[in-house]
Chains A and B, each alone.
Chain A
Amino acid sequence: MIFHTYAGEVKALDGIDLKMRKGEFFGLVGESGCGKSVTALCISRLLPENAEILDGQIMLKGEDLLRKTNNEMREVRMKRIAMVFQDPMTFLNPVLTIGQQIAEVYLLEPKGLSKEYAEKKIQELNGKLKTLSEEEPEYNKLKKHIEGYETILASGGSLPKKGLKEAAWELTVDVLRMVRLADPERIAKQYPHELSGGMRQRAMIAMALARNPDIFIADEITTALDVTVQAQILALLKELRKEIGASILIITHDLGIVAQICDRVAVMYAGNIVELAEVKEIFRNPLHPYTQGLIKAIPPLEREVEALDSIPGSVPDLIYPPPGCRFHPRCAYAFDACKQYKPPLIEAAPSHFVECFLYGGLRNE
């Protein structure tokens, strides 16, 4: 897709082909400006007005999202896609409480909640109940949550008209509990500026989980946090993996994060996916020169280095992108074909895809 700007057309994305499996952590890695956030916005069709998708499909459980109307897309965004963004301070509305911002997806659209999910939650909460004794305040709270979920079952997949607020509140508090926030009732009544950075990010995650989405897109969610908090959030995601059934798209520029929690990863450069493989495989055997450069650039812990290995050159101007393979100006192995033709994505090794003529794909025109 492209952006229309006063300076010219920015060819932001050119050839993104990825398939995510259910329940997997899929990483999308690349430098700033390579188009990873844009890809995420494409999926939920939240692009700004000057963007134009020229060609392609976005398939979610067999439906092409690009063919949907605006109203249908809104339903999709609420019920099936969830997004969490980088800076929770600016992405949370400062004049509404956390609880209000979570509950609104229940209050404004009480229908269409998943019965299976409700059953699952009831089971899980009942399990927790068994570990508590009746006197503990926690017991009653959990019981109320269960009641909330039961109303979903009772009305066949939606919240009831009477007692809507109470049910929505229970669900809200429960989802805040899910992200391991202590004292979720209090937090729900607070405003974003009253929370710490880590807590805000957890609240954002809670917001995303509210309607039990099919796909959960996390766009640089740890970038604004310091390292210890980052670790906590990643741990949280790992834990949540079992509780929610969604596929998670992790967008980041940090290979370390990819190594920690992703199953598979795609490497992006200048609007292209240049390599796609399982995480272990990619670290063990990086094929694309860019990926190799990225991995080499990580300073090693075991020994001292005098200079950091960086990739020479800089990211290309996407208004006038280089012809052929967009990486060729910075590639040590570039040859003539690279300057003229764009390499196709080929399977160089089992389940390991690369876009590079070094591994084939050359066809005589």
Chain B
Amino acid sequence: MVFVILGVTVLSFYLSRGIPGIDPVAAYVTERTPDEVIEKLRIQLGLNQPLPIQYFYYLRDLISGNWGYSRSLTQPVVEALAQRFPATFELTMFAIILSVGIGVPLGIISAIKNNRAPDHASRLYALTGVSIPVFWFGLLLQIVFFYQFRQWGLPSLPSSGRFDAVLNLEHPIQHITGLAVLDSLITGNFIMTQDAIAHLILPAFALSFISTGVIARIMRSSMMEVLRQDYIIMARSKGLSERVVIYRHALKNALIPAVTVAGLIFGGLLSGAVLTETIFTWPGIGRLAATSIIRNDTALILGFVIIAAAIVVIANLLVDILYGYLDPRIKY
């Protein structure tokens, strides 16, 4: 796993410096920059050194927190990312809660009522989940729940930003963790809590849509597999009620293979975050990535990519630990 992280850095390094034909200096200069300045910049960036040495400096910079400078934001990359990270974290957390909260029961019901109406319904849901592009779905949600609702005079769900700026002026949220819902909750600022949650509903739902389908599918097949096992017959032969058999005996076993895809889902959520944040004007790192593409801010894009990979690796680690907790046969 350490190797993977190293490899990730190598890849990022290669993308930023190593590709022949791409001049890293270009990110920092314009046509009008005089040549001597360009030369000085080259030396400063260490571009005149052989690649392996450059990589060493790159690695050192990464670890020490120097991820380059974003020219579009005139900020160090690390700062730009750190400022926006909590927003993405909040959004992603809610999306996960939604995915698991909807996906797992859906999968269980599907397995129990196999091949009957609820099963077909949930399989259809899962299928559409993976066939609908998240950016379009988000826009659709906006049209329906924001614009249309307004037209029909129904209370509408907000579609941009994390909270209402005007409201925030009156009841400012204290910045403790950076998570709007949590912060306002702790400080008793319930008006803002409600507002923050309202703002979260649409984007979190859009983001979770695909993963809900994936989770439901996996839970379904996993649960069906478990229910065929001998120990389920044993549990029934003890006279335990069906509810107990499913929730006490079957579920834990079924979650085990499902958990292994958690890492993949995380990755998907991050990807989706880029799109969702753009659509809902959510001030997170995903949106940052999207805008930095348009502005050709390579340093920022690469910084984002490294963070994304790091998150996925950490998520996988957590998943492994969870796995060890669920399955007593695994020892670490």
**Residues of A at under 8 Å CB distance from B?**
44, 46, 74-79, 81, 83, 85, 87, 90-96, 104-105, 108-109, 191, 193, 207
Contact = CB atoms under 8 A, between A and B. Distances in A.
Contact of A85 (B230, B241, B244): B230
Interface string B200-238: 000000000000000000000000000001110111111
A307 to B, nearest CB: 38
A109 B244 CA distance: 12
Interface of B: 229-231, 233-241, 244, 248-249, 252-253, 256, 326-329
B252 A95 contact: yes
Given A76-B239, A77-B239, A95-B252, A191 B231 contact: no
B326 to A, nearest CB: 7
B328 A191 contact: yes
Given A92-B231, A93-B231, A95-B253, A105 B238 contact: yes
A78 B240 contact: yes
Contacts of A90: 229-231
Contacts of B230: 85, 87, 90-91
Contacts of B249: 93, 96
A79 B240 CA distance: 11
A46 B238 contact: no
A92 B237 contact: no
A89 to B, nearest CB: 9
Contacts of A105: 238-240
Nearest to B253: A95
Contacts of B241: 74, 108
A13 B253 CA distance: 34
A44 B237 contact: yes
A144 B328 CA distance: 29
12 contacts: A75-B239, A78-B238, A83-B234, A85-B230, A85-B234, A91-B233, A93-B249, A93-B253, A95-B253, A96-B248, A104-B244, A191-B329
Contacts of B236: 46, 77
Contacts of B328: 94-95, 191, 193
A46 B240 contact: no
Contacts of A46: 233, 236-237
Nearest to B232: A93
Nearest to A193: B329
A83 B238 CA distance: 8
Contacts of B244: 104, 108
| A44, A79, A87, A96: residue with the most chain B Cβ atoms closer than 10 Å | A96
Nearest to B327: A95
Contact of A92 (B234, B256, B329): B234
B253 to A, nearest CB: 6
A345 B235 CA distance: 36
B153 to A, nearest CB: 50
The 8 closest A-B pairs by CB, nearest first: A78-B239, A77-B239, A90-B230, A93-B231, A91-B234, A83-B237, A91-B230, A191-B328
B158 to A, nearest CB: 43
Given A79-B239, A81-B237, 6 more contacts: A87-B230, A90-B229, A91-B233, A94-B329, A95-B253, A95-B326
A76 B239 CA distance: 7
A207 B235 CA distance: 11
Contacts of B253: 93-95
A90 B230 CA distance: 6
Contact of B248 (A83, A94, A104): A104
A207 B237 CA distance: 11
Contacts of B240: 74, 78, 104-105, 108
Nearest to B239: A78
A304 B212 CA distance: 68
A85 B229 CA distance: 13
B238 A207 contact: yes
Nearest to B326: A95
| B233, B239, B327: residue with the most chain A Cβ atoms closer than 10 Å | B239
Contacts of A76: 239
Nearest to A207: B238
Given A93-B249, A191-B328, A77 B238 contact: yes
Contacts of B256: 95
Contacts of A94: 231, 253, 327-329
A207 B240 CA distance: 13
A74 B237 CA distance: 8
Contacts of B234: 83, 85, 91-93
B228 to A, nearest CB: 10
Contacts of A85: 230, 233-234
Contacts of B238: 77-78, 104-105, 207
A81 to B, nearest CB: 8
A91 B239 contact: no
A295 B50 CA distance: 86
A110 to B, nearest CB: 13
B115 to A, nearest CB: 11
| A46, A76, A92, A95: residue with the most chain B Cβ atoms closer than 10 Å | A95
A44 to B, nearest CB: 6
A193 B328 CA distance: 9
A196 to B, nearest CB: 15
Contacts of A191: 328-329
B252 to A, nearest CB: 5
A42 to B, nearest CB: 12
A96 B230 CA distance: 14
Nearest to B234: A91
A93 B236 CA distance: 12
B188 to A, nearest CB: 39
Contacts of A83: 234, 237
A283 B249 CA distance: 44
A87 B234 CA distance: 11
